[in-house]
Each structure stands twice: as structure tokens, then as C-alpha cells.
């Protein structure tokens, strides 16, 4: 199981936290939000969402696999790592 690169640990820790929330939660809904309308000319900015999708592809996962893994905190901690990956007391 590929681990997330060290520089992305904070971002992915927050993603796991957000994905464990109910689907009615506004922050969880924001992860899937796709704004409509026209954009400015030129190259599109690299958004946070595009970064997440690129990271997911690099790790060889799909978004639905990420959502399932986030529900299991132990598994999520093993994948994401972080400063205390073996800690199970929540602190």
C-alpha cells in the first residue's frame, strides 16, 4: 500500500477527517463541488481539488477507494502517516 508523500500529510489528514463526516456536512459536500460558469483566458490555475486528484492518481487509488479508506482510521493513519502514525488514542 503506497504511503502519501511527507509534504502532503497535513492535507491528506484533513481530507480523512472531512470524509468521515456525514455526507450532509457542508465541508464534505465542498470536496465534490464543481463550480459552473466561464473562466478567464489562459492556462487554468492548479486548484486544490486538482492537486488532490493528481495525488490520488499517483498513489494508484480512485476517489471512491480514498473515501472507503478514510472511514477506517487505523488504515487511514497507515496510508497517510503523519507525526504519530502508530498512535491509536486520538492524540
Chain mean position to CA 73:
13
Q: Summarize pLDDT for 18-53 with one digit per residue, the tens.
A: 999 998 999 888 887 777 777 788 887 777 778 888
Question: In Å, what is the CA distance from 37 to each residue of 34, 40, 88?
Answer: 10, 10, 44
pLDDT above 70: percentage of residues in the chain: 80
pTM of the model: 0.66
- Residue among 62, 71, 79, 86 nearest 2 (CA): 79
Amino acid at each position: 500500500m503506497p504511503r502519501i508523500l511527507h509534504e502532503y500529510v497535513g492535507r491528506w489528514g484533513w481530507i480523512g477527517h472531512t470524509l468521515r463526516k456525514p455526507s450532509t456536512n457542508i465541508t464534505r459536500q465542498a470536496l465534490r463541488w464543481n463550480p459552473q460558469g466561464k473562466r478567464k483566458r489562459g492556462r487554468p490555475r492548479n486548484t486544490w481539488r486538482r492537486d488532490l486528484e493528481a495525488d490520488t492518481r499517483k498513489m494508484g487509488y480512485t476517489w471512491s477507494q480514498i473515501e472507503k479508506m478514510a472511514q477506517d482510521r487505523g488504515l487511514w493513519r497507515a496510508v497517510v502517516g503523519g507525526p504519530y502514525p502508530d498512535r491509536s488514542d486520538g492524540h
